Amino acid sequence: MKIRTRFAPSPTGLLHIGNARAALFNYLFARHHGGEFLLRIEDTDRERSTQHAVDVIFDGLKWMGLDWDEEPVFQSTRQKRHEDVVQALLEKGQAYRCYCTAEELAEMREKARAEKRPPRYDGTWRDRDPSEAPKDAPYTIRLKAPQTGETIIHDLVQGDVTVANEEMDDLILLRSDGTPTYLLAVVVDDHDMDITHVIRGDDHLTNTFRQAMIYRAMGWNLPQFAHLPLIHGPDGAKLSKRHGAQSVVEFRDEGILPEALCNYLLRLGWGHGDAEILSREEQIRLFDLDGVGQSPSRMDYVKLAHINGVWLRRADDKRLTDDVLSRLRERDDVEVNDEVAHRILALMPGLKERAKNLVELTENAAFAGLKLPLRFTSKAEKFLTDEGKDILRGISEKLAALPSFTPEDIDRTLRAFAEEKDLKLGAIAQPLRAALTGTTTSPGIDLTLSALGKDEVMARIRSVTGQ
């Protein structure tokens, strides 16, 4: 049997990390077993399901490198099929029309509450003869759910979970406006898409019992289920805005690399020995559902930042440069052109050692494209005293005379100059760094000068010394 999983998000306008993790697990499970990973957009709520909301999902999955098989299925296009299944259930005697009015249902709930029972549909129309139906009155179609016995789900993460059937009522399959309910649509779609494993958040566990009843009523095989514990905030409370980023786009904007986010989300709730940093290939090779834990995970932003730093240092310089440039294009104090791109690429080996995320990396790289005159931090200004400027004038003469501008040439020149003036190397490097970057931190001074190039170095020094 070929394993087929699916990710079935509702397009709400953001891709929450809980959902992103479900997508990742479905993807890894399918790839590990040589199966297929499908995408279904649950867009039956037409108001919320805008093209933008759908694009957020596509973009998020692509960004995470979770490529899906086959064309995505849009649930809204399958309404006719959902209705046909309800019709089939009616014909099998597994479903019935319910003519209860909203008031009657409210009364039913009220009564149950007063009697301290859970508010469930009481089966008013379950066994009534259709001839008693009020003429032309609106109706819903409900599943004739089993009333005795129990339903057991052999969950691949949670183990066997059992519910007494008497605790469940006759769920609605088709609303009075003729639209299928979510519970029904999911079952029909999973069945028709030949889904073998449904891996999703454990907030869906109660739905699963109800969905199992629909499968049984249709005589369909159930897929295997795996319900993933939810991701909580660092304090154990429900993850919310106050904890930090929650959606894939927020993490991306904060400068998290997709491989770091995936690596982190995988480790959050799944383990394989001590393995911490795992490439996509290793993830696919090692992932299986038996490594998924049963307790809720706590989001650890510090650990994510650490993992991001690791992946940043491993990342390709050109790719990081492109990302930094796209972030720099948003700034008006920075000029982004080929020359600047070239400088940043040259600086990247030094820059990426010092940054934890792409925002920091961009911040640290920005000096390479800053328009003149620079603005100086107060720390940098301390090095631009008269004495500092004298040093700058002196060293700029030497640098100007260099026939080539490699880090080695520059290093040699700075050292010779320091020796000649009886200064420490730092006494030259600091005013230089201040004049060239506006700050007191940058990659190695030789690399910094070399990356900026002779003309730019001269221009920046001149703009400080005034000559």
So which residues are the catalytic ones?
241
Minimum CB separation of residue 189 from ligand GLU in Å reads 9
Task: Say how many residues touch ligand GLU, by CB under 6 A.
Answer: 7
Q: Does 35 bind ligand GLU (CB under 6 A)?
A: no
User: Segment contacting ligand GLU (CB under 6 A): 8-16, 80-88, 351-359, 375-383?
Assistant: 8-16
Minimum CB separation of residue 211 from ligand GLU in Å reads 8
Tally of residues, the chain: 467
Question: What pairs with residue 304 in β-bridges?
Answer: none
Q: Does 16 bind ligand GLU (CB under 6 A)?
A: no
Residue placing its CB nearer to ligand GLU in the complex, 183 or 336: 183
Please give the single-letter amino acid code of residue 282: E
Q: Does 155 bind ligand GLU (CB under 6 A)?
A: no
Residues 284-303 that bind ligand GLU (CB under 6 A): none
Residue placing its CB nearer to ligand GLU in the complex, 203 or 390: 203
Residue placing its CB nearer to ligand GLU in the complex, 9 or 388: 9
The backbone torsions φ and ψ at residue 436, rounded to the nearest 5 degrees and listed phi first, read -90, -30
344's torsion region: left (phi>0), alpha (psi -120 to 50) or beta?
Answer: alpha
How many alpha carbons lie under 13 Å from residue 358 in its C-beta half-sphere?
A: 26
Q: Does 204 bind ligand GLU (CB under 6 A)?
A: yes
Residue placing its CB nearer to ligand GLU in the complex, 42 or 83: 42
User: Segment contacting ligand GLU (CB under 6 A): 7-15, 219-227, 347-355, 423-431?
Assistant: 7-15
Q: Does 239 bind ligand GLU (CB under 6 A)?
A: no
Q: Does 10 bind ligand GLU (CB under 6 A)?
A: yes
Residue placing its CB nearer to ligand GLU in the complex, 200 or 327: 200
User: Segment contacting ligand GLU (CB under 6 A): 5-13, 166-174, 313-321, 417-425?
Assistant: 5-13
Q: Does 41 bind ligand GLU (CB under 6 A)?
A: no
Minimum CB separation of residue 155 from ligand GLU in Å reads 14
Please give the single-letter amino acid code of residue 297: S
Residue placing its CB nearer to ligand GLU in the complex, 230 or 277: 230
Minimum CB separation of residue 159 from ligand GLU in Å reads 20
Q: Does 169 bind ligand GLU (CB under 6 A)?
A: no
Residue placing its CB nearer to ligand GLU in the complex, 25 or 417: 25
Candidate list 4, 5, 8, 263; residue touching ligand GLU; CB under 6 A: 8
CB 180 within 8 A of CB 82: yes
- For residue 83, the tally of other CB atoms under 10 A from its CB is 18
Residues 182-201 that bind ligand GLU (CB under 6 A): 186, 200
User: Segment contacting ligand GLU (CB under 6 A): 4-12, 246-254, 334-342, 379-387?
Assistant: 4-12
Please give the residue ranges that form the binding site for ligand GLU (CB under 6 A).
Answer: 8-10, 42, 186, 200, 204
